[in-house]
Chains A and B, each alone.
Chain A
Amino acid sequence: MKPFLNTVKQNISKIRLMHFFAILFSAFILCFIAIYNSYPLTFNNDTGAYIETGFNRVVSFDRPILYGLFIFYLSFKESLWLIVIAQSLIVSIIIYYYFRYIASGANFITCYIGFIAIISFFMAGSFEASWLMPDVFTPVSILCVGLLFFANDLKSRDLIIISALAVLSNGVHNSHFYISLCLGFLFLSGFIFKQIRKVYAFSGIKIRRVFFVIFLAIFGNLLLSSIHYLYGGGFKGARGGSVFLMSNLVEMGIVDTYLAENCSQKHYQLCAYKDSIPNNFLWAENSPINKTGGWIKNEAEYSAIVKDILTTPKYLGTFIYQSCIYTFKQFFNYDMVDIALPSERIDMAVADYYQSEYLSYLNARQSTNRMNFGLINFTQNLIVGLCLFIYLLVFLFRKMTLKYRLLILFILFGLIINAWICSTFSCVSPRYQTRVIWLLPLPLFLYILENLGYSAILQRIKSVMIR
């Protein structure tokens, strides 16, 4: 009996070791774009702003401080490569959990690495992990919620890791908290209907898990508010909400109509600029927001305007229509296009805080304008099209098991909610959907692993070839 137990133990440790290396290898694949670029990717002024907030410990008026702190602590003030590695590892681990807990296939490592390779080389997976932006935490946040909903028999260690990652990812960007909360309440509302309750029971979704997700989202927000309070930013989680919405209302054309009809009665400061409001309301130098004292000073006035618009049926109707159109626009805007030459602010931040890396940063493909994602964007288009086609067939003809149909629905809801929140409350930007679009093939891979298996697929291909 003892030798048998020893062999089992040895095998288990071998398997564990293999899984450990698989996670590391996947993380390495996820760094592909950063390696190709010779340095982590940066974005506009934002990356610089995050580095600055981390090092200066100042809470900015438009973004949470948590990602800045994440950069500050995990880079050990030495290298920004460590951030990319950490992000890749997080994504790698979360996806590993999906293959381990949700699909019940025995040998899932091949399928797992296959999925990572596809999202890295043909979709935006690697792009997100290689980017010094909190965007990579959006899919992490959705994936954590999904794991908490769908994964049964989670080990305590894994549950803690997933919960911690959910809290962290909810705090790094304004939108994540709302996405998690929406997903939580959406699934909670399903418990009202008997039919859906049955589906939940069949798929192993328990109400306490849904409440736990909502609790984590709220807890994350409170934690973030406390951190902001600690750094002198007040007890407030999301930053600049009404100003962002105001900017989007300008883009939607609603503010123009509103000011034209209301400036005679309501004497807003903005009325003086009603004929010269630029499209880039938030960041343009000649924007009224910059001319009249900035974000904080204008927040009260903009909140009043936003409130008035949203409570007047005439404007609300336009807002709802535009919100639907914007959600569609955002859903189908997922190419990697925001890779321009880094701004001066990033130059300064890297030069100031990561001096030893400054030369490699300057020589990177992005800094020398040699990055092009045309081919990956196209392959991503094809994969998205294929996935949507397959999912449409699955729902029309009721294929796959209930659990998988629900998982597909969950991922689609995640994508739609992300598109709706970002496009309605901020703006339509390809960046917002790029961060989550690569989640689309995940249920397919899990299904293939569980129901067909790698060898079965090979046999099928062989039989087709022979025929």
Chain B
Amino acid sequence: MYKNIVIIILGAIMLCFAGFNNKFPLLTTDTGLFINSGFNRNVPLHNHTAMYGLFIAHSSWGKLIWLIIFTQALVLSITLFYCFRYFAQGDNYLVLYLAYLFFTTFCMSASVTSSTIDPGVFASITILCTGLLLFAQNLSQRDFIVITIITVFSSGMAISNIFTVILITIIYSIRLIFQKKHLPSGRVHTNIKRVIITLFLVFTTCLLISAVHFSLGGDFNIINLTKSPAPIKGEIINMQRYKETGSKTASERSFKVAEKKSMNSFFNSIVDIKITNYDRTGEQSETFQAIYRWYNTDIRECLIARQFQGWLTFTYLNYAEIISILACACVIIISTIKKTGTNHRNLFFFIFQAMLIQVSINLILSENKSYRLVSQIIWLLPVPVFFYLSDNEFIKKMKLN
């Protein structure tokens, strides 16, 4: 028990690697929006919920900015731990869990995502939790409660997470209708009870968000639709121009051109897995101002961070990520050809379709921020590969415990 707790905490610390390396949590252009929303107790505009802002304010205890990314990393670490506990074969799931953590920290973008003050990391957590709720066998009561709580809160961090879970449950409900009655033993499968529980949790999340929004002075709704002053038409591409010019008409003029490009951009974004360089946050930006206002004692740290100094690059990490994904694809293809690891192939398809749904929804909802979407969740792809490795005789025979 204590060993597991130590491993989970160490895993969380490893996941903060990118933040430590940057000397400050990574920031996006939206970070300021969330921080302000959390401290001012208001509902952010557009497709954001108030949950992430409140998460920032509470997890940091109102003043310790590092606790935000540590809490994110801890939640992710717990979720991954449960995944390996319930899906990996044999007793060596701890080794595979640690191997996965180190692999995705140093060769993929897991650490970058969990070290960023952005709700992006909760997309992956939601997908993993949904997987656990739908497929994990013999969940203990304690673990079920923990996973349920994490699911409700993580899916509430962004609207896209809610839609993703709803779509996944719909797909698996349809699959259940056409599913054979007697599946081979040991195959990962779900049942109607689990699907209903998952849907019920999404419903709870919606209620929770609406109640929170209502208590903060907004409508009893999951998004703040009524007060949006921003152009709704052509948001996907147009928002950037709106932000640059500050003019609604100018942004609408560019909409027609943008509309033609948007389909291209949609498909490009889906395959764009690289971590884009995190831009330098300017001193006039909303993000910098929010940190200055709410985390004033940390402002000097922010100023000397690599991101602020403009020398934060991910060139080699991008190469490593591409190579890792190709390697994962190879393993899946080989296992398909060899007709081995059927179980894990099902999980792979679950994760793959969940990622596709998440990215597509995000692209539809987002404001031209497609550049970070795929890299935020692409590191989930090796999860089933590591489950597959747990089937390997060599790993099974390893006597570590």
Contacts and interface: CB of A to CB of B under 8 A. Distances in A.
B20 A381 contact: no
B95 interface: yes
B20 A392 contact: no
User: B23, B66, B94, B107 — which one has the most chain A CB atoms within 10 A of its CB?
Assistant: B23
B7 interface: yes
Interface string B1-39: 001000100100110110011010000000000000000
A332 B300 contact: no
A378 B102 contact: no
Given A332-B21, A385-B106, A389-B98, A378 B400 contact: no
Contacts of A385: 102, 105-106
User: A251, A254, A331, A385 — which one has the most chain B CB atoms within 10 A of its CB?
Assistant: A385
B316 interface: yes
A392 B98 CA distance: 9
State the main secondary structure of chain B at its contact with A.
helix
A389 B102 contact: yes
User: B14, B16, B66, B106 — which one has the most chain A CB atoms within 10 A of its CB?
Assistant: B106
Contact of B315 (A318, A374, A384, A397): A374
B20 A397 contact: no
Interface string A244-260: 00000011111011000
Contacts of A377: 316
Contact of A253 (B14, B98, B298, B316): B298
A333 B315 contact: no
B304 interface: yes
User: A251, A321, A325, A386 — which one has the most chain B CB atoms within 10 A of its CB?
Assistant: A325
A378 B299 CA distance: 29
A381 B107 CA distance: 9
A328 interface: yes
B20 A332 contact: yes
Nearest to A325: B66
Contact of B299 (A253, A254, A384, A399): A253
Contacts of A328: 13, 16, 20
Nearest to B3: A396
B270 interface: no
B240 interface: no
Interface residues of A, number: 35
A284 interface: no
A251 B300 contact: yes
A15 interface: no
B401 interface: yes
B267 interface: no
Given A374-B315, A377-B316, A389-B99, A250 B106 contact: no
State the main secondary structure of chain A at its contact with B.
helix
A375 interface: yes
Interface in B225-282: none
A382 interface: yes
B102 A253 contact: no
Nearest to A331: B20
Interface in A375-406: 375, 377-378, 381-382, 384-386, 388-389, 392-393, 396-397, 399
Contact of B7 (A382, A384, A396): A396
Nearest to A377: B316
B357 interface: no
Contact of B400 (A253, A375, A393): A393
Contacts of A189: none
Given A251-B301, A279-B304, A328-B20, A397 B102 contact: no
Contacts of B99: 389
B20 A393 contact: no
Contacts of B66: 325
B300 A374 contact: no
Contacts of A335: 21
Interface in B65-82: 66
Nearest to A385: B106
Interface of A: 250-254, 256-257, 279, 318, 321, 325, 328-329, 331-333, 335, 337, 374-375, 377-378, 381-382, 384-386, 388-389, 392-393, 396-397, 399, 428
17 contacts: A250-B300, A251-B300, A252-B301, A256-B297, A279-B300, A321-B64, A328-B13, A333-B20, A374-B313, A374-B316, A378-B320, A384-B106, A385-B102, A388-B102, A389-B99, A396-B94, A396-B400
Interface of B: 3, 7, 10, 13-14, 16-17, 20-21, 23, 64, 66, 94-95, 98-99, 102, 105-107, 296-301, 303-304, 311, 313, 315-317, 320, 400-401
Given A329-B20, A375-B316, 16 more contacts: A253-B296, A253-B299, A253-B301, A256-B300, A329-B23, A332-B21, A333-B20, A333-B21, A374-B316, A378-B317, A382-B320, A392-B10, A396-B3, A396-B7, A428-B23, A428-B304
